[in-house]
Structure formats: C-alpha cells, structure tokens
Structure 1
Amino acid sequence: MNTLVPVDDARLAVVRRGSGPPLLLLVGLGGRCDFWSGTMDHFAGRDCISFDHRKTGNSLGSDRPTTVRLLAEDALGVLDALGIDRADIVGHSLGGAIAQHIAVHAPRRVGRLVISSSWAGPTPAFLSLFDHRRDVLRHCGAEAYLRHGTLLGNPGWWSFTHHEAMQAGIAARLASFPGEAIEQERMDAVCAHDLRDRLAGITAETMVICARDDAITPLPLSEELARLIPGARLEVLESGNHFAPVTTPEAWRQRLEGFLRS
C-alpha cells in the first residue's frame, strides 16, 4: 500500500508491505522511505510501515519547522491513522533519533526498539562534520552535497563495486531534492537532537547497531547510546559504514532478525 496520510498540517507518503506483527521503519536524513525497500522485501512476514518525512520525497509540504520531536509526532500520527497501537520500531540515523523520542515520550507505543547508526546527542566532531556538510550544500550545490554524503556514508569497497547503483541513487535523490532551505532546516534538527538526560527512562528492550567503520555516526556514539539505555544490546558490524542496511544488508538484517525473534 502506498498512500498519502494526513497528519497534523502535512500529508505523509506512507508505504506499507507484508502482513504480520507491525514493524515501523524510520528513515534518516535523506527522508525517503525507499531506503527500506530491501528490508521490507526481506521482512515480508511483518506488517512493514514507513513514510517519507514531511517536506521530502512524496510527502507534501508543511509550514512547521522540522524538529526531531515533530518527526516523532508524525510517526505516531501514521500509526494512529493505520489503527496500530503498538509496533516494533527500527530507526536508522535521524530515524534512530526519532525512535528515541517515541521511546521516551510514548513508551507504550513501542514493542522492541532498534537504533541503527544514530546518536544520543551532538559532540564537537559531529557538529563540525555537519558544519562542513552545510558548507558543501551552500557553496557547491545540491548535486555536490548529495555526492559528498553518498561517498562519506558508503564503504570505499562498496562505492567501487556498485558505482552505477550509487550514481543512480544520487540522481534519484537529486530529482526529488526538497531544496537548500529545507535540507539546511533538517540538518539543524539533526544537530539539535540531544536526549542524553532522558534515555535512562527508556523501558523498551533495545538493540543498538552500528558498523565499526561508520564515518557519519562513528561507533563511539552507538557505544554511548548502549550505555545510556538500560539493558541495551550493542551489535557491531565489521564493515558497512553509515549505510550498512544497504551496503551489508545480510549481516545487518541477520542481527535485526535475531533480536526481533529473541
């Protein structure tokens, strides 16, 4: 099912595939739920749900400034519209920050929680990286910005062996790029996210997963998340970089599958 769902002042493009227990998949800064296409195909025995973030992809515009808290409210609004009270939640990168907000502010809505390649709050190195990404967008334009982010987030070996797929992905994102102002607003939301003082209140059974070679949200950020969330399991992939769900899907899905079945 692909449909537009009204949530607050936005209309969100929702994708729903499979059948079974609900699994909400929250995407990162790119904002487009096609990031999860392979994962949805793999988990056909689950009711897999994802959506394009407001102002991105096939979702329609909104006058409200983007914050992680607002994106978490959107996620809950999608579940409400679909009549789903509780779901297992997987969030990647910015999606992991959104998942943290849901687990903190609406704990009864969360079954099991998976936080992939994410962070609890900013560090100087993290903020410096996003200052650089803002500069690339501002001074070099959208295509250079998307190319830079793709090369930064993929392992070198993957970029070398999947060059054509990588170029096609950049072209697809460029065709639906929301514009510099919205992308800068979204990066501001990324840099403002900080729930370090609230994560001890998360009660959901949690897995934190990251690749050892992640260059955007390096492993120490996932290690911090696992320390701050009571009882969280930390899973470390040897490779995959920031986009491990796509670049090393078998290893990433195996860890997810094992956690959801345990």
Structure 2
Amino acid sequence: MAELRLADGGHLHYELAGSGSPLLLVPGLGGLAEFWNPVLPALAERFTVILHDHRGCGRSSQERIDFSIGQMAGDVLALLDHLGLEKAHLVGHSTGGAVGQTIALDHPGRLDRLVLSGTWAAPDAYFESLFATRSAILRAGGPALYLQSSALMLYPPWWIRDHPALVTITEEAARARVPDPEILLARIAAILRHDRLADLHRVTAPTLAIGARDDMVAPAHLSEALGRLVGGAETLILPDGGHFFPITRADRFVRAVAGFLEG
C-alpha cells in the first residue's frame, strides 16, 4: 500500500501486486481498488497489477473537486508517471472503461492493450434515466438505501440470493462506503457527461470490449457498440453475470482478459 501526492494537493492510495508486464485495473463508480479482489490473484500471476482508489473514494483524498472523466484519467496518468512507466495495459470496468477510452484517445502512447469492461461510449436514454433514478434515491434515502438498491442493479438475482448481506447494509457501514454523498453525486454527473462516441474510430490500442447479456447498468448493446466503433476491436458478451461480472464470473473474466493481453 502506498500514497501518491498529486500536483493539486490531493492524494491517491495505490497498490502493486505480482510481476510481469504492467497492468492498470481501473474500477468503476464506486472507485475502490478492492472491487478487483476476486480476479487479482490470478492476474497477479501474469502481470504487475496496479490498483488505486479513485479520488473521492476509499483511502484516497475525499475533497470535493471538479470531478470529470478527464480528471480521473489525469490521476491514472500521474500514477503511471510516479511509477516511472511509459505505458501499460489497462482494464477499465464501467467508469474505469470511460477512463480507458479517454487515455486511449488523448494519450495513445501511454497504453499497450485496452480492455473495456461493462462500459459505454456515451449515455443513451436508458443510461440517463437509470442514473437519474440512482441519484434521486441517494438524495432522498441516503447512502444505505442507495447501496441496497444499487445491489439489485449491479448483481444478478442468483448472486444476491447467495450473498444476502449485499441488501442488508447498515447505516454505519453505508456511511463508511459513502462518507460524502455530494462527492458521489458529482461523480455520477461526471459519467453522464462522458461522450466519446464520435472519436472511437481513432483508438489505436488493440481493444477488447466485454459485456454481459443481463447487465442492467451498462447493457450489452453498449459494449457491442464499442466493439463495432473501435477499429479491429474484439467483442465478448457473457451470457450472464450482471454488471459486476468481473466478480460473479471471475474465472471467465480472467481467462478472457489474460488471453487477450497476452495475445
């Protein structure tokens, strides 16, 4: 575990694991490195894995800033610079995939191979309505109700059946996960502004788009669109797993990602 002091005074908590070619794992809206725990051991056998908590999340600085996908990408680039790395593979899930697109388009020399996992190039009507609803739940019901309702959107029913604690979150635990709801609301606003649809044809990094057929947050058609619009991209749509398929289908995810990155 380590900490990077950023030029504007903020800090990023980051971790390194394993050995091999450098691999950035960038989490989604929740912004926590621990999201990747189910796949970390297997990937660390093949790669030097670089993880971090997004700014405003977890053990990174919690100040209210002008959150944007560009800002999140800038933090990842600052981490690469801090580690003395010219380039790395990047696997980005959900919001992390938007970060990956931004780096691939605006700083193409910094990426080797790119995996866009459960993500989108631009919001559509469904996506906008879903996140308007999630924001309203957070404002009206607070962090506990937000996290409980989010679980129903993020995981398939059979996973929640087997992990009921996901929908029985205490207020204390919720406040630990979402200490400042205004930061989360600002991060939601940032992802709704992400729109690189018209630029995707300029991505030069070899790219794999992965989705799940039952993803309720970033539906499979958004991953399929990425696969069509990024030149030469590969597309894999899993039959199930929900939005958090790197957790619920961890073995399948690792096989696909490792096979692509080592290809």
TM-score (normalised: structure 1): 0.95
Residue 69 (1) aligns with residue 70 (2)? yes
TM-score by length of 2: 0.95
Could you list the per-position Cα deviations for residues 26-69 of structure 1 after superposition, in whole angstroms to 9, with x for gaps in the alignment?
A: 00000111101222211123100011111110001345310000
Amino acid at match of 2:19: S
Match of 1:229 in 2: 230
Q: Which amino acid aligns with 1:85?
A: E
1:259 Cα offset (Å)? 0.8
CA distance in 2 between partners of 1:181 and 1:261 (Å): 40
3-state secondary structure, aligned to 1:12: strand
Q: How many angstroms apart in 2 are the aligned matches of 1:41 and 1:123? A: 35
Q: Counterpart of 1:231 in 2: which secondary structure?
A: coil
Q: What pairs with 1:170-209 in structure 2 (closer than 5 Å)?
A: 174-209=175-210
Aligned-partner residue type, residue 84 of structure 1? L
**Alpha-carbon offset, residue 8 of structure 1:** 2.6
CA distance in 2, matches of 1:28, 1:85: 24
2:92 corresponds to 1:91 = yes
Question: Tell me, what secondary structure is at the counterpart of 1:234?
Answer: strand
**Does structure 1 residue 17 correspond to structure 2 residue 17?**
yes
Amino acid at match of 2:53: D
Matches of residues 47-58 of structure 1 in structure 2 within 5 Å?
47-58=48-59
SS at match of 2:197: coil
Looking at structure 2, the residues matched to 169 and 92 of structure 1 have their Cα atoms a distance apart, in angstroms, of 26
Say which SS state the counterpart of residue 187 (structure 1) adopts. Answer: helix
Measure how far apart 1:70 and its partner are. 0.5
Could you tell me how far apart the structure 1 residues matched to 2:252 and 2:171 are?
A: 24
The count of residues paired between Structure 1 and Structure 2 equals: 261
Which is further off, 27-36 or 59-68? 59-68
Question: Hey, what's the Cα distance between the residues in 2 that align with 1:135 and 1:83?
Answer: 42
CA pair 209-20 structure 1, distance change in 2 beyond 3 A: same
Q: Is residue 4–residue 11 contact of structure 2 (8 Å, CA) maintained in 1?
A: yes
Q: 1:87 to 1:172 in 2, by over 3 A?
A: farther
Instruction: Tell me, in whole angstroms, the C-alpha distance in 2 between the residues paired with 1:171 and 1:256.
Output: 36
Q: Which moved more, 1:22-31 or 1:61-70?
A: 61-70
Classify 1:167/1:39 alpha carbon distance in 2 versus 1 (closer, same or farther; 3 Å): farther
Q: Which amino acid aligns with 1:108?
A: G
2:129 maps to which residue? 128
Distance apart, 1:186 and its partner CA: 0.4
Gap regions ≥5 residues in structure 1 = none
- Give the aligned residue type for 2:77: L
Instruction: Determine the C-alpha separation between the residues in 1 that align with 2:163 and 2:64.
Output: 38
- 2:122–2:194 CA contact under 8 A, matched in 1: yes
Structure 2 counterpart of 1:48, one-letter code? V
Letter of the aligned partner of 2:3 in structure 1? L
Q: How does 1:131-150 map to 2 (within 5 A)?
A: 131-150=132-151
1:167, distance to aligned residue in structure 2 (A): 5.0
Structure 1 residues 26 and 170: CA distance shift in structure 2, 3 A: farther
Q: CA RMSD, aligned part only? A: 1.7
- 2:56 and 2:64 in contact (8 A); partners too: no
| Rounded Cα–Cα distance in structure 1 between residues aligned with 2:168 and 2:256 | 28
- Distance across 2 between alignment mates of 1:229 and 1:66: 26
Tell me, in whole angstroms, the C-alpha distance in 2 between the residues paired with 1:99 and 1:154.
Answer: 23
Structure 2 residue matching 1:28: 3-state secondary structure: coil
CA distance in 2: counterparts of 1:176 and 1:46, whole angstroms:
29
Contiguous gaps of at least 5 residues in structure 2:
none
Give the structure 2 partner of residue 28 of structure 1.
28
Q: Is the 8 A contact 1:52 1:58 kept in 2?
A: yes
SS of aligned partner of 1:43: helix
Distance in 1 (alpha carbons) for counterparts of 2:40 and 2:120: 24
Structure-1 separation of matches of 2:84 and 2:171: 35
